[in-house]
Amino acid sequence: MTIRQRVTLLIVRDDKLLVIRRWRNGRAFMVIPGGGVEPGESLAEAARREALEETSLTVTLGPQVWTRRFTTMMGDGQSFDQIEYAYLIRQYTGTPQLNLAEFPYHSPDNRYKLDWIDIQELRETAVYPGPLPEKELLAALAMGD
């Protein structure tokens, strides 16, 4: 079985986390920016590419704050294993905005919106990939620059 490698980008500003709010088929949830590592790509290269693709930001990677393995269930009922590498990002250039080339299926029934949220909101809404390791996330958000 192939294990997918995923980078997760904890982009922080003023103690708020950048997320992608999703509304799909009447269901609301949040996605932490990030995605799969492509063949031949380093984790750092994947993190910078995913940040640009999903948020239009050019980022400077901070520390890797966790590595975890988990199983993801897809909408079709299939599951696959992933190893996730999460990076704290406090330095970036650009203005966060959706890169619509990354989201070709944006429609009234499948909407995306970038938003800065307080950590409390993560406890109140479904988050992908989740559940997030809250202890590690809080420790990352408490880190200085």
Interior CA angle at 98 toward 6 and 42, to 5°? Answer: 25
> CATH number for the domain including 45?
3.90.79.10
Q: Using CA atoms, how far apart are residues 143 and 145, in angstroms rounded to an integer?
A: 7
Q: What is the pLDDT of residue 55?
A: 94
| pTM (predicted TM-score) | 0.88
Asked if 6 contacts 127 with a C-beta cutoff of 8 angstroms, the reply is no
Distances 74 to 27, 51, 91, 104, 145 between C-alpha atoms, Å:
15, 23, 32, 19, 36
Q: How many distinct structural domains can be found in the chain?
A: 1
Query: Could you tell me if 83 and 73 are in contact, meaning their C-beta atoms sit under 8 angstroms apart?
Result: no
pLDDT digits 0-9 by tens, 59-81 = 999 999 999 998 877 666 778 89
- By residue range, what is the domain housing residue 43? 4-142
Task: Give residues with Cβ within 8 angstroms of 70, minimum separation 6.
Answer: 81, 82, 84, 129
User: Tokens 């993560």 label which residue?
Assistant: 122
